[in-house]
Amino acid sequence: AAASSGGLVAYADSGSDAAVEKPQLPQRKKVVVLGTGWGGTTFLRNLDSRLYDVQVISPRNYFAFTPLLPSVTSGTVEPRSIVEPIRRVLEKKGGEIKFWEAECFKIDPQNKKIHCRSNIGTNLDGNGEFLVDYDYLVVAVGARTNTFNTPGVVENCHFLKEVEDAQKIRRSVMDCFERASLPFLDEEERKKNLHFVVVGGGPTGVEFAASLHDFVTDDLSKLYPSVQHFVKISLIEAADHILTMFDKRITNFAEDKFGRDGIDVKTGYKVVKVSKDAITMQNPATGDISVPYGMAVWSTGIGTRPFIVEFMKQIGQGNRRVLATDEWLRVRECDGVYAIGDCATINQRRVMEDIAEIFRVADKDKSGTLTVKEIQDVLDDIYVRYPQVQLYLKSKQMNGIADLVRSAKGDAEKESVELNIEEFKKALSLVDSQVKFLPATAQVASQQGQYLARCFNKMKDAEEHPEGPIRIRGEGRHRFRPFRYRHLGQFAPLGGEQTAAQLPGDWISIGHSTQWLWYSVYATKQISWRTRMLVVSDWTRRFIFGRDSSC
């Protein structure tokens, strides 16, 4: 145990390191999973549920395929085609997993209990509250929409986060068209009713605006010929551009396409107030402007759920905005608690925090200096523990650590360079600039769920063989490699059967062929054959008959 504590890489789980042989426990450890979204469901699907006593708690008894929510708002895809009952997912695991439809409202890490509340049933005390014990807790509760406390947003805007939201938006679009068609309205009022405002130029806002535009031009304009020329779609973004997380080429293409489509993209405008009839926005040049609208969708980003904020205060993370975990997805200072997906963020360890330790471990011969060979011997460890080093070398087009060392020394010629601690520090001083925060996406949440399930599946083995199945050269050993995200690319559907994609290696592809790639990827990613069938038949139906405008 003493040797391991000096390593570059820490032990992955908090299980006992003591040499005492523990008798085999007759009872399986209790794993409690909060949430049945991307993180929770992927975790459950990959977990070997024979090893644990598993309980799942979520206020929704289904998994929703969120990337297709914008398609639900226009009736391209039916709501039931993108949801899978969680009990079906669990049934496939052999029916050993318990599910409670309830929400957690408090985590008690001292006593390893969570407080839950059901909204559909009451106990003898007249409320729906109950306690659940855990040995391991997997927090995968996602995030809430962030209004930035803008007045009137909650009362007057739609969100696009849940299946119900998408259904409400669809109904509301139809209501706006019917209202605008009523005989007693004047032109101004028809215009107002058919002004659709989307706040937030991120992937969700952009995709929604595009799908609404398609719905209007392909289908509704035929059904409402007398009012169709009153329709206006505005997309409001506070930054200077939309889709800022994508490559510049995609941003430009999207802005141009929306311009041609007649979608009014207002960048540099911040919405400051929403009332029943008008939306007020601000721009340094124009000051406040108020525009009448028929329907508004708010999609400006996500925030932390209130009970997670409380939990963070309890565990000394009160000064943070998002719950932090280490690279093994463990919540720090909180035995047995893990967090994945949108509710958490990984606090990547900085090289500079550990530089003395890295130097000590690498300096095998205790000479007080490091040769290139000494550094190379621990390089694999360093790359695993601090991925930013590799990213940094790549960004500087350096071939390896030797380049970095020589550039720190300033004399590229000499073969036998040696670095003292100060020089080593200098060589690595900039690598932490490459620390990346992972985006709040389904891709990240599901990879984390899968990673964590694999760790859980091996945990017992790891407890019996504390050295761990994975050995890394150098002094330190750890049982599991830290979580490593693999970016598989991201799509931005832009309407008119055109999609932009940013694939690994910054490969950009835009157009109709990318739309087909989008169709095939999203068909493949469906959680079951049932939803895959439904989604594909919805798409086919749309191609033949158009979108369904009845609600």
Q: How far is the CB of 139 from ligand FAD (least distance, A)?
A: 9
Task: By CB under 5 A, tell whether 125 contacts Mg ion.
Answer: no
Among 7, 35, 202, 474, binds ligand FAD (CB under 6 A): 35
* Contacted by 365, from Mg ion, ligand FAD, none: CB < 5 to 8 Å by type: Mg ion
What amino acid occupies position 19?
A
* Contacted by 57, from ligand FAD, Mg ion, none: CB < 5 to 8 Å by type: ligand FAD
Q: How far is the CB of 396 from ligand FAD (least distance, A)?
A: 30
Task: By CB under 5 A, tell whether 387 contacts Mg ion.
Answer: no
Q: Of 64 and 472, which CB lies nearer to Mg ion in the complex structure?
A: 64
Query: What x-and-dash track marks residues 37-66 binding ligand FAD by CB under 6 A?
Result: xxxx----------------xxxx-----x
Distance, C-alpha 471 to centroid of its chain: 31
Token pair 């390593």: residue: 7
Helix (H, G, I), strand (E, B) or coil at 127: coil
User: Could you give the residue ranges of the DSSP H alpha helices within 34-128?
Assistant: 38-46, 69-73, 86-91
Rounded Cα distance between 296 and 175, Å, is 13
Task: By CB under 6 A, tell whether 141 contacts ligand FAD.
Answer: yes
Q: How far is the CB of 397 from ligand FAD (least distance, A)?
A: 30
Of the candidate spans 67-75, 89-97, 210-218, 510-518, the one that interacts with ligand FAD by CB under 6 A turns out to be 67-75
Among 14, 244, 286, 367, binds Mg ion (CB under 5 A): 367
Task: By CB under 6 A, tell whether 341 contacts ligand FAD.
Answer: yes
Q: Of 78 and 103, which CB lies nearer to ligand FAD in the complex structure?
A: 103
* Contacted by 367, from ligand FAD, Mg ion, none: CB < 5 to 8 Å by type: Mg ion
Q: How many CB atoms lie within 10 A of CB 248?
A: 11
Beta bridge partners of 84: 63
Stretch (H or E) spanning 232: strand 232-237
Task: By CB under 5 A, tell whether 475 contacts Mg ion.
Answer: no
**Tokens at residue 143, please?**
């995030």
Q: How far is the CB of 323 from ligand FAD (least distance, A)?
A: 11
- Sites for ligand FAD among residues 410-469 (CB under 6 A): 440-443, 445
Q: Are 71 and 167 in contact (CB under 8 A)?
A: no
User: Of 65, 57, 41, whose CA–CA distance to 449 is shortest?
Assistant: 41
Angle between helices 421-428 and 355-362 (to 10 degrees): 120
Distance, C-alpha 75 to centroid of its chain: 25
Angle between helices 387-395 and 401-409 (to 10 degrees): 70
Upper half-sphere CA count for residue 283 (Cβ side, 13 Å):
13
Q: Of 161 and 191, which CB lies nearer to ligand FAD in the complex structure?
A: 161
- Sites for Mg ion among residues 327-346 (CB under 5 A): 345
* Contacted by 45, from Mg ion, ligand FAD, none: CB < 5 to 8 Å by type: none
Rounded Cα distance between 221 and 177, Å, is 10
Q: Of 39 and 75, which CB lies nearer to Mg ion in the complex structure?
A: 39
What amino acid occupies position 546?
G
Among 9, 10, 32, 34, binds ligand FAD (CB under 6 A): 34
Q: How far is the CB of 475 from Mg ion (least distance, A)?
A: 14
Total binding residues toward ligand FAD, as defined by CB under 6 A: 33
Task: By CB under 6 A, tell whether 69 contacts ligand FAD.
Answer: yes
Rounded to the nearest 5 degrees, what angle is found at the Cα of 240, between the Cα atoms of 515 and 254?
15
> What's the burial of 176, exposed, middle or buried (CB within 10 Å: 0-12/13-18/19+)?
buried
- Which residues in 294-444 belong to E strands, given as ranges? 295-298, 302-303, 323-325, 337-339, 344-346, 370-371, 418-419
Task: By CB under 5 A, tell whether 140 contacts Mg ion.
Answer: yes
Contacts of 533 (CB under 8 A, 6+ apart): none
Q: Of 106 and 273, which CB lies nearer to ligand FAD in the complex structure?
A: 106
Among 40, 109, 200, 336, binds Mg ion (CB under 5 A): 40
Q: Are 149 and 137 in contact (CB under 8 A)?
A: no
Rounded Cα distance between 176 and 232, Å, is 12
Q: Are 417 and 411 in contact (CB under 8 A)?
A: yes
Q: Of 296 and 339, which CB lies nearer to Mg ion in the complex structure?
A: 339
Among 173, 243, 271, 343, binds ligand FAD (CB under 6 A): 343
Among 78, 84, 103, 374, binds ligand FAD (CB under 6 A): 103
Binding site for Mg ion (CB under 5 A): 35, 37-40, 66, 140, 345, 363, 365, 367
Binding site for ligand FAD (CB under 6 A): 34-40, 57-60, 66-67, 69-70, 103-104, 140-142, 160-161, 204, 305, 307, 341-343, 440-443, 445
